[in-house]
Structure 1
Amino acid sequence: MPAEAYDLLRDAILRGEYLPGERLVEAQLCERLGASRFNVRAALQDLAADGLVKVERNKGAHVRKVPLDEAVEITEVRMVIEGLVAARAAARVTDEQASELDEIGLLMRRAVGAGEFRRYSDLNERLHSLIRRIAGHRTAEGIIETLRGQLVRHQFMVSLHPGRPTVSLPQHERIIAAIQAHDPVAAEAAMREHIASVITALREIDAP
């Protein structure tokens, strides 16, 4: 089915199994995904619409490279939408969800203290995913997922940037505290501050 081929290929791209600029050969994808050529082509067109793939006539498809200036613009959009999501999460959070936020915050602190930065990166994604789940804003979540997919390589570089976890940890703690306090204004401000710092990190990485 086209949807299954789309999901499998999208996940492979997001996991970094296909690098930016790498060609996506239809015959190889058919074999790997166990899908027909028709379904693979449909998946590539849908991924092109998501901004993950670029399809060119007579050249085929490849994983799209996202330049820094576009990555910054995408992150600016994420800053607004994720601020909205954090505010909504603060208005809706339950006691059980607040405890789950506490648990992730504790694990993040331990990961930074132990220098386990890959684990911290995984917890970062878990935290943002939980906040979106608490907010329950399906439209915003769909937009964020599409934008996140385009930034996967940039996000990976930011997560490994020297000193990044020690910068982002207190930001995440402020987001958690504001949501637990049922303070939408503070939650939105804390999230926007956090995403703005990602933009700063992107520019630092690109600097000569």
Structure 2
Amino acid sequence: MTTDSSDLSQVDEEAKLDLTQQIRDAILGGEFAPHQRLIEADISARFDATRAAVRTALLNLTGEGLVERLPNRGARVRAISVDEAVEIVEVRIGLESLCARKAAVNITDADIEELRGVRAQIEAAVASGHLVEYARLNQEMDRRIRDIGGHETATRLLERLRAQSARHQFRLAFHPGRASQSAPEHIAIIDAVLARDPDAAEAATRAHLEGIVDVLRHLD
């Protein structure tokens, strides 16, 4: 039995994309600190990948803004300042408001049942003080609204922007009193989408993100 060269090429490409995701998750999870050098040999050993695959993954992440290349010094994790994080959220306001509007228009009965489930889980997580679970559910809510909205260009841009500011978003989730403030904002977004009210969905999304900007500006 012979294997087509195109099949091998596809497998190789999928492996590179998977490695990119693994390194991305390690950066966002804090396993690699801001400004930490990313040495190809060490990453190759850690993830059992070839040097070529590591090099490609780091180039992908450089394009996403998570990694920066230094002349004659290789790559390192790019540090995102609070000022840059604020600018990222300001850009997200337009994109996420658009996605919320689209979701309110496009939502199906099946989508409504699933989004109601996320809503209930958010309320339960906040009530029990499970902040890690609450942060995860926030991401799940955002993903579902983007999926329902179905705006592929906005989704691609948001995924890149959110990856760059993920570390600050994680800090926000544990900021004193932040969960009790943000949870009603998330519920308001969900309720507007469930009500199929695009104007309310856009307004609730904008209000929530503008609140994030205010909190970020007061972070040390």
Q: Under TM normalisation by the shorter chain, which class is it?
A: over 0.9
Q: Which residue of 1 aligns with 2:65?
A: 51
Q: Which residue of 1 aligns with 2:99?
A: 85
Q: Aligned runs of 1:48-197 on 2, under 5 Å?
A: 48-197=62-211
State the TM-score, normalized to the length of structure 2: 0.89
Write out per-residue CA displacement over residues 85-108 of structure 1, whole angstroms, 9 at most, x where no aligned residue: 000000000112112222211121
Which of 9, 14, 29 is matched with 2:43 structurally?
A: 29
Structure 2 gap segments, 5+ residues each:
1-11
Write out per-residue CA displacement over residues 140-161 of structure 1, whole angstroms, 9 at most, x where no aligned residue: 1111110111111101110100
Is this contact kept in 1: 2:93–2:210, CA < 8 A?
yes
Measure, in 2, the Cα distance between the counterparts of 1:118 and 1:49.
28
Is this contact kept in 1: 2:33–2:77, CA < 8 A?
yes
Indicate whether 1:42 and 2:60 are aligned: no
- Give the counterpart letter for 2:126 in structure 1: V
Q: Deviation of residue 8 (structure 1)?
A: 2.1
Name the larger-Rg structure: 2
Measure, in 2, the Cα distance between the counterparts of 1:37 and 1:82.
37
Measure, in 1, the Cα distance between the counterparts of 2:19 and 2:130.
34
Superposition RMSD on alpha carbons, in Å? 1.2
- Give the counterpart letter for 2:120 in structure 1: L
- Give the counterpart letter for 1:78 in structure 2: R
Q: Number of aligned pairs?
A: 206
Identity of aligned residues (%): 44
Q: Deviation of residue 110 (structure 1)?
A: 1.6
Is this contact kept in 2: 1:161–1:205, CA < 8 A?
no
Q: Secondary structure of 2:31's partner?
A: coil
Is this contact kept in 1: 2:19–2:54, CA < 8 A?
yes
Is this contact kept in 2: 1:89–1:131, CA < 8 A?
yes
Q: Secondary structure of 1:205's partner?
A: coil
Q: Deviation of residue 60 (structure 1)?
A: 1.4
Q: Deviation of residue 11 (structure 1)?
A: 2.3
Q: Secondary structure of 1:16's partner?
A: coil
Write out per-residue CA displacement over residues 78-132 of structure 1, whole angstroms, 9 at most, x where no aligned residue: 1110000000000000112112222211121121112222211111111111111
Indicate whether 1:8 and 2:22 are aligned: yes
Structure 1 gap segments, 5+ residues each:
none
Q: Deviation of residue 14 (structure 1)?
A: 2.2
The more displaced of 104-113 and 73-82 is: 104-113
